[in-house]
Homo-oligomer: A and B are copies of this chain.
Amino acid sequence: MGVTWWWITGGVILHLTAYTAHQSPIMAGSTKSLAKGSPAPGPVPDGLIRAYLMRFCPFAQRAQLVLIAREINYEVVYVNTLNKPDWFFEKSPFGLVPAIETSEGQLIYESLIVCDYLDEVSPGKKLTPEDPFQKAQQRMLLEHFFKVENLVFKILGALKNNADTSALKAEFLKKLILFDEIVSKLNTPYVGGSSVSMADYMMWPIFERFSIFGVKDCLEKTPHLHQWYQLMLQDPAVKATFTKPEVQEGFFKLYLQGIPEAVDYGI
């Protein structure tokens, strides 16, 4: 478990939880998110990175995967992204999670930028290849993956509008099969080689949510991605941040109804 501490600002108790390597805020997390009207958290303690996250956000999970995989000491501030505190826009100008803050007050937002920064500043083996061409290959692979990701968000948009998703799901399957072919040509267990790398972690949170979008069965038609999915389930950082499908679904039902409490579902 992490070490939890509190401080009192404007009469409201803020509580943050600090984690060291291999601890999981999501598994440990019983901390409710900060919503509109909450006071801003104080300075980040020396030697820690603060991550502004939302428990069910796939982009926030990207940051958390890297924080755990790179054994970074960090604390989490959960933000209610459905009812954002005003101060959050000073931390993350687009109002999006993840964002991180250092003890020097440096702020970094946008998931891919956050993850690259965390990987670069941390000692030890990097998740991103040092070789410029291999690095470019990972980024190009992600560009292909984004075609899949974009369709997931189109399905989300349709679900929000109570629209029929069958055509979008058929398009999704086509794109996933194309992506499976690309992945098959890599001939490696992970997309970056023989061990887990940045691209694997950037993709994973979307795959973890396939069930809530009703596209999990598509994996049966994409054997290479299916194999990769099974392998990723065994990864320690994935295990530490994994949210059970029934909990995801509980959140998602409330989220689709626009209920701000959705972000604290299950705690």
Contacts of A89 in B (CB 8 A): none
The answer to whether residues A139 and B121 also contact, given A133-B106, A133-B108 and a CB cut-off of 8 A, is no
Contacts of A110 in B (CB 8 A): 139-140, 143
Q: Pick the contact of A120: B94, B106, B113, B132 (CB < 8 A).
A: B132
Contacts of A135 in B (CB 8 A): 116-117, 120
CB pair B109–A140 under 8 Å, yes or no, is yes
- Tell me the interface secondary structure of chain A in the complex: helix
Q: From A104, which residue of chain B is reached at the shortest CB distance? A: B133
Instruction: Verify if A21 is at the interface (C-beta below 8 Å from B).
Output: no
Instruction: Verify if A170 is at the interface (C-beta below 8 Å from B).
Output: no
Instruction: Verify if A259 is at the interface (C-beta below 8 Å from B).
Output: no
The answer to whether residues A132 and B136 also contact, given A110-B143, A143-B110 and a CB cut-off of 8 A, is no
Q: From A102, which residue of chain B is reached at the shortest CB distance? A: B133
CB A115 to nearest CB in B, in angstroms, measures 10
Contacts of A108 in B (CB 8 A): 133, 136, 140
CB pair B139–A113 under 8 Å, yes or no, is yes
Q: Quick one: which of A105-125 are within 8 Å of B by CB?
A: 106, 108-110, 113-114, 116-117, 120-121
Q: List 24 A-B contacts (CB under 8 A).
A: A93-B144, A94-B143, A106-B133, A108-B133, A108-B136, A108-B140, A109-B140, A110-B139, A110-B140, A110-B143, A113-B136, A113-B140, A113-B143, A114-B136, A116-B132, A116-B135, A116-B136, A117-B132, A117-B135, A117-B136, A120-B132, A120-B135, A121-B132, A121-B133
